[in-house]
Amino acid sequence: MNWLSTLFTSFLLAAPLSAMADWQFSSGPSPNAFIQANNITLELQCDRIRFAPAGYEDSQDIVNKQGLSFCFMSNGTAEVGAFQAERANSSFRVVDNYPVEIEFNDANDYVFVLDQIAANATLNLSMTDQDISYAILELKGSSAAIRSLKRSCSNLASSGSGSRPEAPEGVVYCGGGGTQRQIEYAIVDTGSDWDARVTVNGETMDAMTSYSYFGNAEPPRGFIVALLGQDRSEFLVFEDGSERWIEFGDYRYDQCN
């Protein structure tokens, strides 16, 4: 390899990843506007952001530092605005085993971030303490996607359907292959991330709820909530008309009471 090839390879390794794709909007129980490309996803929900950088180590870095810098550019180089999400104004956590979820303490801060994304051409997401980018995202189509998001979130709020659904009381789900299981779940207000409990054959564990299919354009028909157990198990809860069921592993568990 000659010196020019070596220099070019070094540049590729050092350059931040850029997501070159159009923005999209997904309706459903948890509407969101998102962009997904090059193993990078940024998802804007009604009241929070989920960001999946290219590597899991970047997710850990953001949560450990409790910080993420948003730099808005009218083109590739001209910075027109910025927001520093940090411990004082936001909370950070890893959800669904990978993406970073960011909640803003002040709703006006989130409105500012959404408006800047909609108005500009490029977004640079970087470390707060160093000039190192996690991702550079093209914002083509973000304005229309964010308009749809705001409209859907407003409709949910006015109809009162934006609140998180409760588990149907007393419902038991049965099924399985060689090992038959009875599954129940409950949504609980614990004040922590573990806001659900799942009981399988009489044994109960804590779980986290996720109300969106992260990164997917549309959730499956009837999808209500994903329950992420402390043992890394995943239970997908569905309701379609009179049918209620849970998908766990390779099997479907239908309501049996």
Look up residue 68 and give its two tokens: 């993420």
**Lowest mean pLDDT segment, chosen from 51-60, 69-78, 109-118, 211-220:** 211-220
Stretch 183-195: mean pLDDT: 82
* pLDDT at residue number 8: 33
Contacts 24+ apart (CB under 8 A), 246-253: 246/173, 246/183, 246/185, 248/181, 248/183, 250/177, 251/175, 251/176, 251/177, 252/175, 253/173, 253/174, 253/175, 253/176, 253/181, 253/183
pLDDT band (50, 70, 90) for residue 4: very low
Considering only residues 63 and 26, tell me which one the structure prediction assigns the higher pLDDT. 63
Report DSSP state, residue 66. T
| Spatial CA neighbour of 230 closest among 198, 182, 257 | 198
Q: 47-71 burial, b for 16+ CB within 10 Å, e for fewer?
A: ebbbbbbbeeebbebbbeebbbbbb
Neighbours of 168 (CB within 10 A): 14
Alpha-carbon distance of 221 to 159, in angstroms, equals: 21
Q: How far is CA 234 from CA 95, 207, 208, 223, 248, in A?
A: 12, 9, 10, 14, 6
In contact, 103 and 166? CB cutoff 8 Å? no
**Lowest mean pLDDT segment, chosen from 126-135, 158-167, 200-209:** 158-167
- R_g (Cα) of the chain, nearest Å: 21
Tell me the average pLDDT of the chain: 82
Stretch 176-183: mean pLDDT: 88
What is the tens place of the pLDDT at every residue in 217-229?
A: 467 788 888 888 8
- Is the pLDDT assigned to residue 12 strictly greater than 80? no
Report the sign of the C-alpha dihedral through residues 214, 158, 171, 204, in that order. Answer: positive
pLDDT band (50, 70, 90) for residue 13: very low
Cβ-in-10-Å burial (0-12, 13-18, 19+) of 30 comes to buried
Stretch 157-162: mean pLDDT: 59
Stretch 73-80: mean pLDDT: 82
pTM > 0.75: no
| pLDDT > 70 fraction of the chain, expressed in percent and rounded | 82
Query: CA-based angle 20:210:193, to the nearest 5?
Result: 115
